[in-house]
C-alpha cells in the first residue's frame, strides 16, 4: 500500500511541468539570443553639486556582440559610438576617439554594458561579482566590482529587465553620484 502511494506520488511529480531555477547562466543564455535592436532612453543623472537631476533623452542601437551607439537628442545632441575597443564621441563640431584597450578601468565599465547586452558572463565576471534576483519575467542583475581600481570608480551597477530585454541600468559611483537610464525597445517595422 505504501509502495503504491509512493509510486503514485512519484508519477504525479514527474507529470508536473519542470521549472528550472532561474539563475545567472539562464539569464546570460536568454540575453545572448538577443542580437540587437533599437531603443529609446531617458537618463537621469544625480550629481551631488546640482539641486536637480540632469535629464537626457535619445536613442540607442545595439548590434551584437560589440557595437553600441547612443545618440542623445536632449538637452544637447551628442553621439557616442562604441565599436570593439574604440569609443568615438561627437558633440557639436568636436569629435574625439579613444582606444579603450589602453584604459582598463574604462573598458571594464564599458564591458559591464556590452557584456550584459551580449550575455557574455565571462566578460562580466572578469571585473564584477554577479548577483541575480527575480524571475525570467522580472529580473535584477547587480554587478559589484571585484577589482579595487574599478571599485574606486563605481560601487555597483544594477541592470533590470524582462526576458532578454534590458529595461533599466543604474550606476552608483564611488563619489555618490548616480545615473538611472530607462530603456524602451523600439519595434522595427
CATH number at residue 180: 2.50.20.10
Find the mean pLDDT for residues 136-159: 94
Q: What is the pLDDT of residues 22-66, one digit of tens each?
A: 899 999 999 999 888 899 999 999 999 999 999 999 999 999 888
**Does residue 33 belong to any structural domain of this protein?**
yes
Find the mean pLDDT for residues 5-25: 55
Find the mean pLDDT for residues 164-176: 94
**Does residue 45 belong to any structural domain of this protein?**
yes
Q: What is the pLDDT of residue 11?
A: 44
**Does residue 6 belong to any structural domain of this protein?**
no
Q: What is the pLDDT of residue 20?
A: 54
Find the mean pLDDT for residues 17-23: 63
Q: What is the pLDDT of residues 130-141, one digit of tens each?
A: 999 999 999 999
Place 9 in a pLDDT band, splitting at 50, 70 and 90.
Answer: very low
Q: Report d(CA 1, CA 6) in Å as an integer.
A: 9
pLDDT higher at 23 or 106: 23
Residue 187 pLDDT exceeds 80: no
Find the mean pLDDT for residues 118-126: 93
**Does residue 13 belong to any structural domain of this protein?**
no
User: In the chain, pLDDT over 70 holds for what percent of residues?
Assistant: 88
Q: What is the pLDDT of residue 167?
A: 95
Residue 13 pLDDT exceeds 70: no
Residue 115 pLDDT exceeds 60: yes
**Does residue 112 belong to any structural domain of this protein?**
yes
Find the mean pLDDT for residues 81-106: 90
Residue 87 pLDDT exceeds 70: yes
> Could you list the residue range(s) of the whole structural domain that residue 103 is in?
22-186
* Mean pLDDT for all residues in the chain: 87
**Does residue 28 belong to any structural domain of this protein?**
yes
Structural domain count, the chain: 1
**Does residue 14 belong to any structural domain of this protein?**
no
Q: Report d(CA 116, CA 111) in Å as an integer.
A: 8
Edge to edge, the sheet with strand 154-162 lists 94-99, 86-91, 78-83, 67-74, 54-63, 36-46, 178-186, 165-173, 154-162, 139-145, 128-134
**Does residue 170 belong to any structural domain of this protein?**
yes
Amino acid at each position: 500500500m505504501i509502495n503504491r502511494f509512493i509510486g503514485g506520488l512519484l508519477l504525479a511529480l514527474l507529470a508536473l511541468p519542470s521549472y528550472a531555477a532561474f539563475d545567472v547562466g539562464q539569464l546570460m543564455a536568454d540575453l545572448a539570443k538577443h542580437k540587437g535592436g533599437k531603443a529609446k532612453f531617458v537618463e537621469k543623472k544625480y550629481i551631488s553639486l546640482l539641486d536637480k537631476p540632469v535629464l537626457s533623452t535619445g536613442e540607442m542601437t545595439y548590434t551584437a556582440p560589440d557595437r553600441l551607439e547612443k545618440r542623445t537628442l536632449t538637452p544637447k545632441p551628442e553621439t557616442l559610438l562604441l565599436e570593439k575597443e574604440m569609443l568615438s564621441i561627437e558633440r557639436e563640431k568636436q569629435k574625439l576617439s579613444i582606444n579603450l584597450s589602453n584604459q582598463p578601468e574604462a573598458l571594464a565599465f564599458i564591458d559591464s554594458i556590452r557584456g550584459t547586452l551580449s550575455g557574455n558572463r565571462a566578460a562580466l565576471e572578469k571585473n564584477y561579482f554577479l548577483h541575480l534576483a527575480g524571475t525570467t519575467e522580472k529580473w535584477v542583475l547587480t554587478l559589484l566590482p571585484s577589482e579595487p581600481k574599478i571599485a574606486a570608480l563605481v560601487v555597483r551597477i544594477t541592470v533590470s529587465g524582462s526576458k532578454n530585454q534590458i529595461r533599466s541600468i543604474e550606476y552608483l559611483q564611488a563619489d555618490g553620484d548616480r545615473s538611472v537610464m530607462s530603456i524602451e525597445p523600439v519595434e522595427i517595422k
